[in-house]
A and B are shown apart, each in its own frame.
Chain A
């Protein structure tokens, strides 16, 4: 059974940093691209970023709203994807979901339960 478990959320002040983790199980993690999608309170879904598998260079893509502030990385030996968030803004407050990206396509076939990040002074 595919499982994605996010951790690392919490309350952080504007301008500070936070790192989220996504621990995967039930599939060969290294074979898949992974992505982060967020949802502000009471709002819709917003794609944050994406990391390809090592077979495709392990390269990343980011939404314009987070580019230059957020970094996605992966540790295939531990089956973990990370989202490093720097220079956080109040508008980054959201539930952050880790997702598995379907091979060859950029839709999300499995989602974690999400972790809440609150940016507030």
Chain B
């Protein structure tokens, strides 16, 4: 099973600042990586797939990069609605696995 490790566990950022979230895979997952956003009391929402392709309706301030074992989700200028927990997920191998999440909180 591929282990996905996200860092940091918590990221404190001021509105308008840039946030950079990391996700590392225990072995190569090629570009088969997705990012999800989850707000309190809500279901997760797909943000990014294929490591760098934004899902339908996702603002351009969200961008993904990386391949192999190292991936990054960048939020260029944090808006109030972006404070949430973010999960990465690999779908290159069975079973599909999620990272433990990064909570982005208001500084």
8 Å CB interface, A97-121 against B:
97, 102, 105-114
The answer on a CB contact under 8 Å between B98 and A44 is yes
Contacts of A102 in B (CB 8 A): 49
Contact residues of B: prevailing secondary structure: loop
Q: Any chain A CB within 8 A of the CB of B52?
A: no
The answer on a CB contact under 8 Å between B87 and A105 is no
Q: Which residues in B have some Cβ–Cβ distance to A below 8 Å? A: 32, 34, 36, 42-46, 49, 55, 87, 89, 91, 94-101
Known: A46-B98, A108-B34. 19 other contacts (CB 8 A): A37-B44, A44-B98, A44-B99, A44-B100, A45-B36, A45-B89, A47-B95, A61-B94, A63-B95, A64-B95, A105-B32, A105-B91, A107-B46, A109-B46, A109-B55, A111-B44, A111-B46, A113-B43, A114-B43
A-B contact pairs, 18 of them (CB 8 A): A37-B44, A44-B87, A44-B100, A44-B101, A45-B87, A45-B89, A45-B98, A46-B98, A61-B95, A97-B44, A105-B32, A105-B49, A105-B91, A106-B91, A107-B46, A108-B46, A108-B89, A114-B43
